[in-house]
């Protein structure tokens, strides 16, 4: 069963990384995978939410930042060392590499975990316009991580599941805090 999953994972990886190869994606994917691409909209969004809803917006923004830190720690600090899966750029031949190939491990993708946690948190708390933007950014980031050659598709899918799971705990915490704030 595991061999079958790995074979499909490698085929999907090569399809995205090699078969979709083109000048346009070669130019934009290395840019879109940079943290500055998605941190700028996130900071702007946090500012707008806090400005529009000072009381609950501040709690939401602080929990979102804490959520980001926790999801990053879980994916990169706990799970990657535990699973110790080599990145495709270190393990596979003929990878079309367009980004720095870290010596760190691959599973799960920290980018996918963090961006999906933030998007799920936002979506569940009824910030639909912001959520759609964040979901789009999460999908874009996830695609680029495979395209530039530093993650397998299962790293991405697992990151989405882990990020959404972590977000669900933070959603419950936010609703608890919001309820206490309204009771005052």
Contacts of 47 (CB under 8 A, 6+ apart): none
> Looking at residue 112, what is its pLDDT?
95
The b/e string for 148-158 (b: 16+ C-beta within 10 A; e otherwise) is bbbbbbbbbbb
Q: Which of 104, 126, 92, 111 is nearest to 156 (CA)?
A: 111
What is the model's pLDDT at position 127?
64
In order along its 184 residues, the chain shows pLDDT tens digits of 688 888 999 999 999 999 999 999 999 999 988 887 777 777 777 777 777 777 777 777 788 889 989 999 999 999 999 999 999 999 999 999 999 999 999 999 999 999 999 889 888 876 677 778 888 888 999 999 999 999 999 999 999 999 999 999 988 887 887 777 666 6
Question: How far apart are the C-alpha atoms of 88 and 61, rounded to whole Å?
Answer: 35
Q: Are 85 and 2 in contact (CB under 8 A)?
A: no
For the chain, how long is the longest CA-to-CA vector?
61
């Amino acid at each position: 069963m595991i061999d079958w999953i790995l074979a499909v994972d490698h085929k999907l990886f090569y399809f995205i990384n090699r078969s979709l190869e083109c000048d346009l994606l070669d130019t934009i994917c290395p840019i879109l995978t940079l943290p500055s691409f998605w941190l700028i909209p996130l900071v702007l969004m946090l500012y707008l939410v806090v400005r529009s809803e000072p009381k609950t917006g501040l709690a939401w923004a602080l929990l979102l930042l804490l959520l980001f830190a926790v999801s990053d720690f879980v994916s990169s600090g706990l799970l990657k060392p535990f699973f110790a899966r080599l990145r495709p750029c270190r393990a596979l031949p003929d990878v079309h590499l367009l980004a720095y190939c870290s010596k760190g491990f691959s599973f799960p993708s920290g980018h996918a975990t963090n961006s999906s946690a933030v998007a799920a948190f936002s979506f569940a708390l009824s910030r639909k316009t912001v959520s759609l933007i964040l979901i789009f950014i999460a999908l874009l980031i996830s695609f680029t991580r495979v395209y530039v050659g530093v993650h397998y598709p299962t790293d991405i899918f697992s990151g989405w599941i882990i990020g959404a799971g972590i977000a669900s705990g933070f959603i419950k915490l936010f609703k608890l805090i919001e309820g206490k704030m309204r009771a005052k």
